[in-house]
Structure 1
Amino acid sequence: MPNAIILTREWQAFWLAVGFLTRIPMLVHIDYSQRLMNQSSLYFPLVGLLLGSLHVAAFFLLSLAFSPLVSVIVVVILHLFITGAFHEDGLADSVDALGGGYTLEKRLEIMKDSRIGTYGTVALVMALMLKVALLAEADLIWLALLIAPAISRLTPLLLMATLAYVTDPDKSKSKPVADGFSAARLVSASAFVLVLSAVLSFWQPFLITGTLAAVLLVALLWGSYLRSQLGGYTGDALGASVVFSELVLLMFL
């Protein structure tokens, strides 16, 4: 295949990842296919880095007029707007389903319900409060804002590579990404995250340790729990893994 065609497909895959994970308009024409959607998974951490860069820019501008705490809160609100609370919605649905369902069928039914219950509300509020507190207390707030979105978006790729897909594929937004998930692209995404952590270790020593802890610990514990409760993963469970990985990394920072 000519290099020009390969580069065009990868460029489209990147923008497809941007459109999948955020509300940022796709600025290029996309020849959509399920294969291209699958290829876009490689760029999830890169999209996270793009989000982190926007967060850092917003934080520095806000900090000219407001305290660090107020600036962090506004940045988190901005993040929720840009992403459409995509992963936070997954967290709420997952906790509602796993907390309120006593059979596999009931859990999957609750997970598909667009309404949020008590378990999901509590989980969402506490996760956002903890995120704000951890960001505000980080030694280097800008670094935490920059790297957390990138590193946390590697975790769902690990889950897709190691677990079965268990929800209704015809009604799931994540199904095209999950189908035929490429191990080679997982390796590439992992290498990107590790190199990024190594570069930023100049400002935060042992950042690679925190990166591995956030990604592998959540993938292992959350993945094991999903396997026992659902027999695999759903799109909502992947979203929840991003939130969990962010919190673990921020605790380390």
Structure 2
Amino acid sequence: MKQIISREWQAFWLAVGFLSRIPMLVRIDYSDRLMNQSAVYFPLVGLLLGGIYAGLYLALAHVWSPLVCLVLVTGFHLWITGAFHEDGLADSVDALGGGYSLEARLRIMKDSRIGTYGTVALIVALALKVALLADSRVVWLALLLSPMVARLAPLLIMAFLPYVTDPDKSKSKPVADDFSRTRLLYAAAFTAVAAALLAGFAVGILLWSVVATAGVGAAWGLYLQKQLGGYTGDTLGASVVFAELVLLLGLASGA
């Protein structure tokens, strides 16, 4: 039992280090298996980040207007995560918009340069995110919930689609390789309980949480299946951005 707890503790901190710049505070006995196990903690890492964003917003709100605070929090988010998911969005949109064959799409996705499609997608996504947060009735709750809920979407895709990128050139393969559907259920259960408690069991918020995860996972997953035959690390990052925007659309509508 002690070994299991120690391994899961390391897996959590490995997920923290993978998704953010937050220093890992424990010694990690790294292995591909541990990296794969760490994916179950993505929503928990999202909750940790959301707590930081909400706290930062509430602190800044004593000095600046809500809009200024949201832009500053968004800038902090891009720094603390290394724009990890936004980079995936830009690469995915460039590849799927500009590639006319599977080989071309995968090649474009690996290109470190950003194209017109990716640039436009980033601008629209970031502007829409700030606007939707500003329209949310309880901004701090939106900041707290959205990172957690959104990070369940890539786990859904990983559990049901094959990984298609060259494994020798991908840093995401240890996370994606044979991701267990049992661990997906654990992550989904945690996300559902945490969202219900934080949102006070508000039906509208819980409904939009389901739409943001299951809806985005299904729609984006089906599109990726058609275009790529599976998913890549970049497309997983894009799914986080899409899920977050869908959830914020619901919250901004009054859900």
> TM-score interval w.r.t. the shorter chain?
over 0.9
1:91–1:124: 8 Å Cα contact kept in structure 2? yes
Structure-2 separation of matches of 1:25 and 1:160:
26
Mark the runs of 5 or more structure 1 residues left unpaired by the alignment.
Answer: none
- Counterpart selection for 1:33 from 31, 54, 58: 31
Of 76-85 and 169-178, the range deviating more from structure 2: 169-178
Q: Tell whether 2:72 aligns with 1:80.
A: no
Matched AA of 1:114: S
Question: Normalization by structure 2: what TM-score?
Answer: 0.97
1:244 corresponding residue in structure 2: 242
The answer as to whether partners of 2:32 and 2:174 remain within 8 angstroms in 1 is yes
**C-alpha separation in 2, matches of 1:179 and 1:88:** 22
CA displacement, residues 76-130 of structure 1 (integer Å, 9 cap, x when unaligned): 0000000000000000000000000000000000000000000000000000000
Q: Distance in 1 between matches of 2:114 and 2:178?
A: 31
* Partner Cα distance (2:117, 2:6) in 1: 44
Quote the Cα distance in structure 2 between the aligned partners of 1:51 and 1:26. Answer: 14
Aligned to 1:206: 204
Equivalent position of 1:46 in the other structure = 44
5+ unaligned residues in a row in structure 2: which ranges? none
1:170 lines up with 2:165 in the alignment: no
Map Cα deviations across residues 133-173 of structure 1 (whole Å, 9 max, x no partner): 00011000000000000000000000000111111111111
- CA drift at 1:203: 7.4
Matches within 5 A, 1:64-79: 64-79=62-77
Q: CA deviation at 1:202?
A: 1.6
> Does the aligned pair in 2 maintain the 1:200–1:207 contact within 8 Å?
no
Asked whether 1:56 is paired with 2:54, we answer yes
1:231 matched residue in structure 2: 229
Match of 1:124 among 115, 122, 125: 122
* Matched residue, 2:189: 191
Structure 1 CA distance, aligned partners of 2:145 and 2:51?
Answer: 9
> How much identity, in percent, do the aligned residues show?
65
Q: CA RMSD in A?
A: 0.9
Q: 2:153 aligns with which of 132, 152, 155?
A: 155
Q: 1:62 to 1:131 in 2, by over 3 A?
A: same
Question: How far off is 1:200 after superposition?
Answer: 2.4
Residue 206 of structure 1 and its aligned partner are, at CA, apart by 2.4
Would you identify which runs of 4 or more consecutive aligned residues in structure 1 move more than 4 Å? none
What code does the residue aligned with 1:195 have?
V
Match for residue 134 of structure 2? 136
Is the deviation greater in 191-200 or in 94-103? 191-200
The CA distance in 1 between the partners of 2:113 and 2:184, in whole Å, is 33
AA of the residue aligned to 1:221: A
How far is the alpha carbon of 1:205 from its aligned partner? 4.0
Q: Would the aligned equivalents of 2:196 and 2:202 in 1 still touch at CA under 8 Å?
A: no
Q: Secondary structure at the match of 1:206?
A: helix
Cα offset, 1:6, TM superposition: 0.6
Deviation at 1:179, TM superposition (A): 1.1
Partners of 1:245 and 1:26 lie apart in 2 by 26
> 1:203 and 1:12 mapped to 2: Cα distance?
31
- Shift in CA distance, 203/190, structure 1 to aligned 2, threshold 3 Å: closer
Kindly indicate whether the alpha-carbon contact (under 8 Å) linking 2:61 and 2:69 is maintained by their aligned counterparts in 1: yes
